[in-house]
Amino acid sequence: MNICVFIKRVPDTESRIRIQQNAVAEDGLNFVISPYDEYAVEEALRIKEARGGTVRVVSVGRDEAAAVLRKALAMGADEALLVKDEAPETYDGLRTARIIARAVERRLPGADLLLFGKQAVGTDNSQVPAMTAELLGLPQATVVTKLAIEDGTATALREIEGGTEKVVLTLPAVVSAQKGLNEPRYETLKGIMAAKKKPVPAVTLEELGFGPGEPAAAVEVTGLDVPAARQAGKVLQGDPAETARELARLLRDEAKVI
């Protein structure tokens, strides 16, 4: 199995988000591999351990994205590729998918399985995996909690409202990982040392055949705000039966939600 995993560098989930000039202020943020992408890396490593093959990890972004590629190498990935994209966040998933699809066609030959996180924490777009699948003409299973590979097919369980869908795909295919798929391993000291020695080659958008300004974003940001903070309300205390009665009354007569 020849597996490619696409990972993104994002602010960790404990971050407080501040806005400056219609963009998220990056200073003071701690950046990590997007948590769902970590499940994708882990799944790739498990498939490789069971069936052999190679795991290549790919990130689209600025030079700083090399840090998440090193983390994936330390977990056990064989090779890394940084697709250098200097553009600030465009929030346009199709732009990213076009870059990834081109990178797959030109620089990542022979992939049987393209693994992604179900969404990048932050932009929360949940669209790059399915878009990449469509651009490459591949089948997809998104938001996957269980994946089984057998000769030329992938069987995936994906979360739907109130249940699970079993999706059968002919390889090559695109799969996006949901929490629950596995428990990602910690990198070992040996892995970290080995990862330091591995190269992280980079390719530019120009080298992938894109002209200046390509691929263009079709999303225009007109506003970016932090939502108004909620106000603390009434706190009741005392006898459980009395506070419960008063709360029920408030929900019915004041908040009118029941």
> Per CB under 8 A, which of residues 73..132 are in contact with another protein?
91-94, 97, 121-132
**Site membership for another protein, residue 250 (CB under 8 A):** yes
Contact with another protein (CB under 8 A) among 48, 80, 142, 147 = 142
Binding residues for another protein restricted to 162-181, rule: CB under 8 A: 162-170, 173, 178-180
Q: How many CB atoms lie within 10 A of CB 156?
A: 25
Angstrom distance (rounded) from CA 169 to CA 141 = 8
Output 22 or 204, the one with its CB closest to another protein: 22
**Site membership for another protein, residue 25 (CB under 8 A):** no
Q: Which phi and psi angles does 28 have, rounded to 5°? A: 85, -10
Output 34 or 59, the one with its CB closest to another protein: 34
**Site membership for another protein, residue 24 (CB under 8 A):** yes
Output 193 or 219, the one with its CB closest to another protein: 219
> Residue 36: CB partners within 8 Å, gap ≥ 6?
116, 117, 118, 119, 120, 121, 176, 177, 178, 179
**Site membership for another protein, residue 201 (CB under 8 A):** no
**Site membership for another protein, residue 8 (CB under 8 A):** no
Contact with another protein (CB under 8 A) among 1, 15, 194, 214 = 15
- Cα dist from 155 to 140, 142, 146, whole Å: 11, 12, 8
With contacts defined by CB under 8 A, name the span among 40-48, 57-65, 108-116, 159-167 that binds another protein: 159-167
**Site membership for another protein, residue 40 (CB under 8 A):** no
- Cα dist from 98 to 129, 214, 229, whole Å: 11, 10, 37
Q: Site for another protein (CB under 8 A): how many residues? A: 90
Angstrom distance (rounded) from CA 29 to CA 22 = 17
Q: How far is the CB of 231 from another protein (least distance, A)?
A: 8
Output 50 or 236, the one with its CB closest to another protein: 236
Angstrom distance (rounded) from CA 98 to CA 112 = 19
**Site membership for another protein, residue 20 (CB under 8 A):** no
With contacts defined by CB under 8 A, name the span among 1-9, 50-58, 158-166, 203-211 that binds another protein: 158-166
> Residue 232: CB partners within 8 Å, gap ≥ 6?
none
Nearest alpha carbon to residue 219 among 93, 70, 65, 32: 93
Q: How many CB atoms lie within 10 A of CB 170?
A: 10
Output 80 or 133, the one with its CB closest to another protein: 133
